[in-house]
Amino acid sequence: MEHQYIADLKAGTLLQDIYMVTQPVLRNTTRGDFYIAMFLSDKTGRANCRIWSATQELYDSIPKEGFVRVKAKTELYQGNMQIVANNVEVVDPSEVNLEDFLPKTSKDIPAMFAQLKQNLAQIQDDNLKALLREYLSDRELMQKFCKAPAAIKMHHAYIGGLLEHTHNMLEVATRILPLYPNVQADLVLAGIFLHDICKTSELSYDLAFSYTMTGQLLGHIVQAAIMLDQKADVLLDKGIEIDRAVLDNLTHIILSHHGKYEFGSPKLPATPEALMVNYIDDLDAKMNFVEDAQLNDGADDEWTNWKPLSINAGTRYLRTKVMNKK
């Protein structure tokens, strides 16, 4: 039987298929009955799932991250697709092909990485060139960098998403930097490359997308600042001392790239380079969010449903025109 992809589901569809399950939670209805709330997903997207009249035993049998075969029916709830399951059977991960369940960038990963390195090759500062060589020569780190998502759900939330996001930002920067000759281009390009580098360790993405313990405790911003000092120490052991001003300016870009304290930045952007990275980061994240809404929204009219948008700019609700619908 052909797999019924999440993105293709319509209200009233009967399902009997395998999906990835994440974040199951046992809750009570207003009457006190148990129900299970969880997410079901495949490579095309994810949907809320509910199991009514649930039991503690059933909840305990469902993996926090894993695979289940469900018998269910779909419905629209508050404008979004929801799956109501009446039977759930746990499936061993060895029985499934992970590539069918993890969303992945539609772009060419090797080509994006090659273009990223070409953009970074424009950097002239010897200190920054030495630092970036240390990162780019770290094979394990670069393998993770090319595979990691940029987030769990808000933007570029798919395999290769971190690379795509960073690649896009570098492409934007190389086009607008000539308009601002007083901005230090080398710092902007290096800062873009490193601003989210520790999404590679903040996020777990081998089975399902989630946060690692270190990611929960520190976060990618702090982790990236620590990694920068570690790479500088490695270079120092090789007899290459990075100028403190270069390190401080690059660290500042990393620490301030979310733009505001309430959005997770330990520092506010205080240099033109940090300000530029912050705005390019926010722009690319928002445009990916909008594109995803336009492609995957369940609305049947010319506009998407209202979506909570909270990428580096506070939470507000966005509704956007679907350009490919008449």
Residue 146 has pLDDT above 50, yes or no: yes
29 inside domain: yes
Whether 175 and 254 map to the same domain: the answer is: yes
pLDDT of 117: 98
- Determine the Cα–Cα distance for residues 93 and 21; give it in Å rounded to an integer: 11
95 inside domain: yes
Whether 140 and 72 map to the same domain: the answer is: no
Whether 140 and 51 map to the same domain: the answer is: no
- Determine the Cα–Cα distance for residues 245 and 231; give it in Å rounded to an integer: 16
Percent of the chain surpassing pLDDT 90: 69
pLDDT band for position 103 (cuts 50, 70, 90): confident
Whether 220 and 261 map to the same domain: the answer is: yes
227-272 pLDDT per residue, tens: 999 999 999 999 999 999 999 999 999 999 999 998 889 999 999 9
Whether 73 and 136 map to the same domain: the answer is: no
For residue 176, what are the CA distances in angstroms to 169, 173, 181, 280, 285?
Answer: 11, 5, 10, 10, 18
Residue 314 has pLDDT above 50, yes or no: no
Residue 10 has pLDDT above 50, yes or no: yes
Average pLDDT, the chain: 89
Start-end of H helices in the chain? 56-61, 109-120, 126-136, 139-147, 161-176, 185-195, 199-202, 213-217, 220-237, 244-256, 272-296
209 inside domain: yes
- Determine the Cα–Cα distance for residues 196 and 216; give it in Å rounded to an integer: 15
Distance of CA 117 to the CA centre of its chain: 21
pLDDT of 307: 57
pLDDT of 296: 60
pLDDT of 326: 35
Whether 280 and 152 map to the same domain: the answer is: yes
Residue 96 has pLDDT above 80, yes or no: yes
CATH of the domain at 36: 2.40.50.140
150-204 pLDDT per residue, tens: 998 778 988 999 999 999 999 999 999 999 999 999 999 999 999 999 999 999 8
112 inside domain: no
17 inside domain: yes
Q: Which residue has the higher pLDDT, 184 or 298?
A: 184
Residue 96 carries which side chain, given as an amino acid letter? Answer: V
- Identify the CA nearest to 285 among candidates 262, 263, 245, 312: 312
CATH of the domain at 234: 1.10.3210
Strand 45-51 relative to strand 80-91: parallel, antiparallel, unpaired? parallel
CA torsion through residues 4, 7, 10, 11, sign: positive
pTM of the model: 0.78
Question: Which range marks the domain in which residue 56 is found?
Answer: 6-100
Region for 109 from its dihedrals, namely left if φ exceeds 0, alpha if ψ lies in -120 to 50, beta otherwise: alpha
20-76 pLDDT per residue, tens: 998 899 999 989 999 999 999 888 888 999 999 999 999 999 998 899 999 999 999
pLDDT of 309: 57
215-229 pLDDT per residue, tens: 999 999 999 999 999
274 inside domain: yes
Can you read off the two tokens belonging to residue 297?
Answer: 């929204």
Strand-pairing partners, residue 50, are: 37, 84
Whether 202 and 162 map to the same domain: the answer is: yes
Structural domain tally of the chain? 2
pLDDT band for position 14 (cuts 50, 70, 90): very high
DSSP label of 147: H
